[in-house]
Amino acid sequence: MRNDLMGKNNIGFIRKHFGFFGRVTLAFALSGMMLPLAAIAAPASSSLSYTRFFYYRDSVRARQSLFAHPDLIDVLAPQSYSFNIAGKLTGGMRANILRFAKKHNIKVMPLVTNRKFSKGAYQTLLNDAAMQDSAIASLVAEAKKNNYWGWQFDFEQMDASYRDLYSAFIKKAADALKQNNLVISVAVIAQISDNSGDYPNDLWQKTIGVYDYSSLASSADFISVMSYDDPNSTGPVAEYSWLKQVIAYSAKLIPHDKLSLGIPLYYWKWNNATGARVGIGGRKGIANVIQKHKVAFHYSIEHEAPYLTYWNRAKQYVIWYENARSVAKKIGLIKENHLHGFSAWALGLELSSVYSAIQR
């Protein structure tokens, strides 16, 4: 999903620095879409630091990304734990991944979810104070056992009627975790207002309105705003104008230094004739497209995002993705707004060149 550097004279450099994905990056270089590193770097006028938070789902490509770039990952957030319908904590981490993170001083903050984002798992927990106490105690014990930095709560697909109950649960969890020197964060779906009519398909009631930004931010150490899956986009995963709306609204309710901006590392694929979204994927999917089809590369200044086009069986397809240039623009927004940092979904989906945009 990314591209970088300058072209033919840098082929050796590209192969050296882009490793296992060098073939695809080389194809991008020869497409003429590469820019000098100086042109894609985050704004030089700002030297503000920010936290680089990466979500992690265990896979071959995720491990490749982690092992190749440990110095550019501040926090690793494995999606590896959940509460089941009985409120019991289940899950764990691979021992070798945990050892690697500790060796390279990467903080580990696993996600804990309502199992499979199920209705039953969140309802039983949020309606039972004793179950909550037991669940939180299990988080403390698991974190101490594995020397985790803390926990991120990623409860999703919750009805807005549970808004106050969820905020109260997070406050209770935050009090307990902080007493044990553990950090707490919360993942929330992106909002642009508190007007339910601004969201299509009753999304406010079904899944978005449950997050009380102000209340959650008062309890948590930071909030990861999942500023991707733009519900109105017919192109990028997150339109640039929408992203700025998300920041503007979120920053009214979440202190700037607690706001972690979500960055998608995956692509959306569209059928150009029907306007239907027909695919989602990561670097492997783009590699397959480049290997099988004649691809044209483009960059949208309006959306600050790259896209590629190709034809297959008389149908044209468009893939919108992220590259170093577009990620650098998002880093620019983080610095300009003095935000906590970014939360990127997810390791193993990105093109390797993206890392040139997040070096400090």
Q: What is d(CA 161, CA 148) in angstroms, rounded to the nearest whole number?
A: 32
Q: What is d(CA 359, CA 343) in angstroms, rounded to the nearest whole number?
A: 15
More confident residue, 338 or 43: 338
Which residues have a Cβ under 8 Å from the Cβ of 101 and sit 6 or more positions away?
Answer: 66, 70, 76, 107, 108
What is the phi/psi pair of residue 5, to 5°?
Answer: 65, -150
Query: How would you class 70 by CB atoms within 10 Å of its CB: exposed for 0-12, middle for 13-18, buried for 19 or more?
Result: middle
Write down the architecture of domain 43-267+329-357 according to CATH.
Alpha-Beta Barrel (3.20)
pLDDT tens digits, residue range 235-275? 999 999 999 999 999 999 999 999 999 999 999 999 999 99
Does the pLDDT of residue 34 top 90, yes or no? no
pLDDT tens digits, residue range 326-336? 999 999 999 99
Provide the mean pLDDT of the chain.
90
Query: How would you class 351 by CB atoms within 10 Å of its CB: exposed for 0-12, middle for 13-18, buried for 19 or more?
Result: buried
Inter-residue contact 230 to 237 (CB < 8 Å): yes
Q: Kindly indicate the confidence band of residue 19, based on its pLDDT and cuts at 50, 70 and 90.
A: very low
Supply the pLDDT for residue 3.
32
Supply the pLDDT for residue 47.
56
For 234-267, letters b (16+ CB in 10 Å) and e give: ebbbbbbebbebbbebbbebbeeebbbbbbbbbb
pLDDT tens digits, residue range 51-82? 999 999 999 999 999 999 999 999 999 999 99
pLDDT tens digits, residue range 139-194? 999 999 999 999 999 999 999 999 999 999 999 999 999 999 999 999 999 999 99
Mean predicted confidence (pLDDT) in 80-94: 98
Rounded to a whole number of angstroms, the distance between the first and last alpha carbons of the chain is 21
Q: Kindly indicate the confidence band of residue 360, based on its pLDDT and cuts at 50, 70 and 90.
A: confident
For the whole model, what pTM was predicted? 0.89
- For the ranges 11-25, 102-116, 149-163, 224-238, the lowest mean pLDDT is seen at 11-25
